[in-house]
Amino acid sequence: MNYRTILKKVAGLRCKGDTKQSFKEYKKLLKSKDPKIHLEGYQGMALCLKMDYDLKGALKYYDRAITVAKKLNNQSGLGDIYRDVAISYEYFSRFKIAEKFLLKSIETFRKLRMGKLNYAKLGITEVKLGLTYLHQKKLKEAEKWMKRGDRHLAKNKQADFWQLTSKMHLAELLYLKKKYKQVINKINPLLLESMNKDWDHRYNQILTLRAACFKKLNREEEYKHDKKLLLKLLSLLDSKEVSDSIKRRLNYYLK
């Protein structure tokens, strides 16, 4: 089975949430003689283990991916891996360590020639760092990095998904500042954009944020409407993990 066929098969398996079989398919990439394909294999295996809540196992394969990326002198890939390691730590609420790896990722990307792709990678990572500060309630730092990331993402018009994601996180920042009406005004256009572009997961996340704002503003009818729509959309999802994560997000907002 060739490289592209394996990746195509993995894409289908991951949509079904089958991390065990996805791991086995990624492992097949290590049989290649091309170290660039090994890099993708190690990163994929690490991702599967992270999704199975095996942080130790995920870090083991990310470490191997870092070694390969350094040997290839693939600095862009190295920046990606540092960010993925950070996201793994964030997945387990270890935000301080996540912060350290995101800063390493940003430092790596800054050394690269800044074309559209690298601006997007840098911007995404800066937004992620802002989000890590947001989780730690360091709102000033969160706002600084999110706005910086938003500016870098704007330099790549094809990074519209991440531009929307950045704006969603900036709205979360306003939510923590209890500026609920401002949040609603900011996210209504994002809801429309995510619906028009079929970004279902982002739509559900933004809808969750709007529902929470309505609840905080005691606009009960609008809150009930959004919550009912949200639960209906979640019931249509194949992935229980994604559904549960959105429900946890709503509970987190309403604390």
Q: What is the CATH number of domain 1-73?
A: 1.25.40
pLDDT in tens, 88-129: 999 888 999 999 999 999 999 999 988 888 889 999 999 999
Note the pLDDT tens digit of each residue in 54-87: 999 999 999 999 999 999 999 999 999 999 999 9
Residue 248 CB coordination number (10 Å): 11
Judged against a pLDDT cut of 90, whether residue 155 lies above it is answered with no
Q: What is the rounded distance in angstroms from the CA atom of residue 203 to the CA atom of residue 56? A: 32
Q: Please provide the distance, in angstroms rounded to a whole number, between the alpha carbons at the two ends of the chain.
A: 50
% residues pLDDT > 70 (the chain):
98
- Tokens coding 216: 């905080």
pTM of the model: 0.81
What is the mean predicted confidence (pLDDT) over 2-10?
76
User: Tell me, what's the pLDDT at 73?
Assistant: 95
At which residue do the structure tokens 């989000």 appear? 131
Cα–Cα distance list, 235 to 107, 162, 204, 249 (Å): 41, 26, 12, 16
- 250 contacts: CB under 8 Å, gap ≥ 6: 208, 211, 212, 227, 230
pLDDT digits 0-9 by tens, 192-245: 999 999 998 899 999 999 999 999 999 999 999 999 999 999 888 777 767 888
Task: Please say whether the beta carbons of 194 and 203 come within 8 A.
Answer: yes
The domain locations on the chain are 1-73, 190-255
CB atoms within 10 A of CB 116: 12
